[in-house]
Structure 1
Amino acid sequence: MAYQLYYWTGIQGRGEFVRLALEDAAAAYVDVAREEGDGVMTAWLDGEHDGALPYAPPFLKSGRLVIAQVANILQYLAPRHGLVPESESKRIYAHQLQLTIADLVAEAHDVHHPVGAGLYYEDQKDEAKRRAKEFRESRIPKFLHYFEKVLDRNGGKHALREFTYVDLSLFQVMSGLAYAFPKCMARQKLPLLRDLARRVEVRPNIAAYLASSRRVPHSEDGIFRHYAELDG
């Protein structure tokens, strides 16, 4: 039975981290809102279905299970599709790394919405410029140099010495930050992360996905947004 993925149409957003895992694993799934429209999620978010109540998309339906939060979804999918080692310690470490990625993604979002998610970017541009400077000069280097060290400590090729879902998520982070902050990212010395991103990009299932219409482009409606005034 195919998984059912619920996420907003027209953007990559947080749902893309889940899509990459499903695509790499060649898992059967339906991107429900893309077929039925965003309104299909309303009943779930209003609690009109049985099972766990998601706070927000993405969430995944697998049989009777309803699983929300990116790291939680990936922790569920990974052992079922060979995207994490069997060792409990390595699974815990993979989850730890994914939660750190979630922290980075949240900070990337808050660059263009530093005052409130319910306000337009144009309503908080001055605050966004200030937030972006701190993000470019301090937070991007701190996060990415941490992940560079993670790769180095594990042989330089993968976050956990073998391919896992964390590698897919690091690819998405590198892709999103390169789109949103091209000048800043061009200045970063990240040989291991850049090599990892290139190797993920050419994995057969990922390459096919990236070339397909299922991979929507980055845009100013998603998490990673490019505004020239925020790139320094």
Structure 2
Amino acid sequence: MRYELFYWTGIQGRGEFVRLALEDAGATYVDVARDQGDGVMTRFLAGEQPGALPFAPPFLQAGKLVLAQTPNILAFLAPRHGLVPSSVASKCFALQLQLTIADLVGEVHDTHHPIAVDQYFEDQRIEARKRAASFRTQRLPKFIDYFEQVLARGDGQHAVGRNHTYVDISLFQLMAGLDYAFPLAMHRLRRHTSRLRLLSERVAARPRLAAYLASSRRVPFNKDDIFRHYPELDDV
């Protein structure tokens, strides 16, 4: 099947989790907004297209089916491309983990926009420093410890079962984003991330993903993205 991925240009954001899975699977897809501009998503968001109505990007068109929400899209793609075991229990656990990753991504976003999405970071700098301090010292270690436990309870190398899944890819992207946004905090947690580090290295070395990561199609992290590096939010 030929997929059409819709996500904002110029950033990785939540769409990158889907993009990485598509790349790893070798799926045929079009990054629509990158070809036609962000305005191409308007007709979907305005309800002018048939099918399910997405609230926001990313969303994926697969034939006549339109799917939104990153975990939902990945749960749809995974069994079609060998990125999740076939058992119901494994599929449910994979989705559970992906939803937990989404929770953490949301908390990352709120470190630089704790008051309002429609206000600039500079307009909520004081609140952002407070939120980021709590995130670095309380929330981030808790999430990291959870994912390390998940790997330890499995085979030590994969999040779900003994095979590579979309959750492994998403954990790679999560670690890459956290390393960019909070390099000091992640350095302090390094001895607590040994399994996640090894998993990230394995995922990045997968041939299709390695080729994608080395290409110009991999948009660099930047200050318009979810994972943003503001030195004052990464203080000791």
Distance 1:178 1:45 in 2: 32
Q: RMSD of the TM alignment (CA)?
A: 0.5
Alignment match, 2:231: 228
- The aligned amino acid for 1:216 is V
**Residues 169-208 of structure 1 aligned to structure 2 (within 5 Å):** 169-188=170-189, 189-208=192-211
Q: CA deviation at 1:228?
A: 0.3
Alignment partner for residue 216 of structure 2, among 213, 216, 221? 213
Q: CA deviation at 1:2?
A: 1.4
Q: Deviations over 1:78-104 (max 9, x none)?
A: 000000000110000000000000000
Q: Deviations over 1:165-214 (max 9, x none)?
A: 00000000000000000000001121000000011111001100000111
Is 1:153 equivalent to 2:153 in the alignment? yes
How many aligned positions are there? 232
Alignment match, 2:34: 34
Report the TM-score when normalising by structure 1.
0.99
Which runs of at least 4 in structure 1 moved beyond 4 Å after TM superposition? none
Distance 1:91 1:25 in 2: 17
Alignment match, 1:98: 98
Q: Deviations over 1:29-60 (max 9, x none)?
A: 00000000000001110000001000000000
* Secondary structure of the structure 1 residue equivalent to 2:5: strand
- The aligned amino acid for 1:217 is P
Distance 1:162 1:63 in 2: 29
Report the TM-score when normalising by structure 2.
0.98
Q: CA deviation at 1:11?
A: 0.3
Q: Deviations over 1:122-179 (max 9, x none)?
A: 1000000000000000111000110000000001100012210000000000000000
* Secondary structure of the structure 2 residue equivalent to 1:76: helix
Distance 2:126 2:221 in 1: 23
* Secondary structure of the structure 2 residue equivalent to 1:219: coil
Is 1:124 equivalent to 2:127 in the alignment? no
Distance 1:51 1:43 in 2: 12
Alignment match, 1:52: 52
Q: Deviations over 1:100-129 (max 9, x none)?
A: 000000000000000011111010000000
Task: Specify every segment of 5 or more residues in structure 1 that has no aligned partner in the other structure, as ranges.
Answer: none
Alignment match, 1:143: 143
* Secondary structure of the structure 1 residue equivalent to 2:93: helix
Distance 1:26 1:163 in 2: 14
Alignment match, 2:25: 25
Paired-residue identity, %? 65
- The aligned amino acid for 2:63 is G
- The aligned amino acid for 1:120 is Y
- The aligned amino acid for 2:224 is D
Is 1:76 equivalent to 2:46 in the alignment? no
Alignment match, 1:16: 16
